[in-house]
Structure 1
């Protein structure tokens, strides 16, 4: 995430947290998917782009060894205050600051939506570096028929076709296990991809 995007989120962090930073604002299908995915993992989990920390807190409550990272200081402050005892730190998707092969899972739930194609490629390579062989990756994103920018409430974001993002994952060292897409009333089309890190 660029400095400009982080600043844009920082300016609206309280508003974002109030409306979207709670698990009761999350679709039941998404809670079920993330929990089922986490139950397949072995080893520590990193919630990349954790925002106000609700997904990190959710996984922690279910007994997982999870840390949330986000480049926006306002989100980290909110997450620490809202989820005491859960580890959060400032961090970037492009540089996770963990040893090679040290993670059991990476959750990237709508944390890559402001990245261009070259940026997403670089992030996926960093995820592949940090995950152990067989480690899990779950990505949530805005789905669309073509890769394109659109006017997001905070700053410019991008839609991805499920197939295109799946192909990029395969070229970045992952095996795609499952894909989902749906359109709920009143919201933009949603996509999710479950993948595993290929053997080294």
Structure 2
């Protein structure tokens, strides 16, 4: 009975391998899929040879001491497929042979110079002499054959193995719930998943005292991660597993395998479940801590809410009072506007009345009387009279200065009254300053006028040099 051909490990189609999916053809050579279907399917979904070779290196802790104990030991791979296992074991020094019923797989092995032939798995194993094989392997075969044939294969392998020889049985891991419930059935030639405990017990029952349960191909990121989700529990367990059994042999030979059989391999679902429970416990503890913090703050929050409620009530009351005040002010403003309008209308009526127009002269006289009385009370009458008199005197003096005859008469009269002349002179000099023209006197004036202009300029310069601004009586140049 031959082992079906290809094995596919991986998850999604194209181009990455399908995690947990093993594709093998049926046990009988006349199966409808015994053509190159599996070769094409495996090439698409299994993954590159480099990826598969890297995965198979997980068995090196068992293979290295075995080839050291049995150099050039004969290895038989049941259902060798594309030959990755044959290539690995040959590179380590084994005399590796394989059997398969798929011509496409055998062609791939021949292209690489690997020893593979067409044949039935159990027939090839039965043909081996007792104690002639150092290694017997069957990758993803046991899920395709009845369990009684699995037991027969294990028993025949024990017979054919040398003392301390190894049996390797790899198969999909139904402990991974996605594999066991879904991807396992992607291969129509699969019969049923084989539980880990059942296959391990069968190897023990058929005479292999030493066994190792290897969980394989799990996501490396899950190995040391503390936080695990429910999705990780469902699909995170190792998608493949292998039972490695060792035939009894000399103690010194078996001691070389102690390290390999003492290791722990892969991730079990119960480990993920325990980590997920621990994750939930941590999250629950954190939640309780946050709830405790909220509980501790709750009284202060209630106090703050009560304070805010009271403050809101006070604001509402203040707003109500403000609305009332605004309403009252609106009423007062409306009443004031009405009174202002009434008073404005009364003023307009008054100004347009006949009595107002008739009494206008009387009001003007009364206004002047009130202003005069206020000026007398404040002492402003004398100064006002003096300013007015001064303006009259200055204006008269200017008129006299323009008239030579009047100016001569005024001089003769003022010589009789020196004090009056001095006062008039001071009054004239206190009149607004008139800056004398800087240009030369006109040529059409009399010599006497020219001399007067020169004298006035000299007096102005003298006053400027003395530190006070001159005030020259304004006069017009007499015409010649």
**TM-score, length-normalised on structure 1?**
0.82
Offset at 1:21?
6.9
Which of 52, 59, 64 does residue 34 from structure 1 map onto? 59
Match of 2:241 in 1: 191
Return 5+ residue gaps in structure 2 as ranges: 3-26, 220-234, 250-480
2:70 is the alignment partner of 1:54: no
Q: Decide whether the 8 Å contact of 2:75 with 2:136 is kept in 1.
A: yes
Equivalenced residues, count: 195
**Residues 177/156 of structure 1: CA separation in 2 closer, same or farther (3 Å cut):** closer
Secondary structure of the 1:99 match is coil
Match of 2:40 in 1: 15
Give matches, 1:47-126, under 5 Å.
47-81=77-111, 83-84=112-113, 86-96=114-124, 97-126=127-156
Cα distance in 2, alignment partners of residues 5 and 172 from structure 1: 31
Q: Considering only aligned residues, what root-mean-square deviation do their CA atoms show, in Å? A: 2.8
**Residues 109/40 of structure 1: CA separation in 2 closer, same or farther (3 Å cut):** farther
Pick 1 or 2: higher relative contact order, CA cutoff 8 A, min separation 6.
1
Which has the higher Rg, Structure 1 or Structure 2? 2
Q: Decide whether the 8 Å contact of 1:44 with 1:66 is kept in 2.
A: yes
Secondary structure of the 2:189 match is coil
Richer in helix (by share): 2
Offset at 1:154?
4.8
Richer in strand (by share): 1
**Residues 4/91 of structure 1: CA separation in 2 closer, same or farther (3 Å cut):** closer
Cα distance in 2, alignment partners of residues 10 and 115 from structure 1: 19
Q: Decide whether the 8 Å contact of 2:52 with 2:84 is kept in 1.
A: no
Offset at 1:17?
4.5
Q: Decide whether the 8 Å contact of 1:176 with 1:195 is kept in 2.
A: yes
Q: Decide whether the 8 Å contact of 2:139 with 2:169 is kept in 1.
A: yes
Return 5+ residue gaps in structure 1 as ranges: none
Cα distance in 2, alignment partners of residues 48 and 108 from structure 1: 5
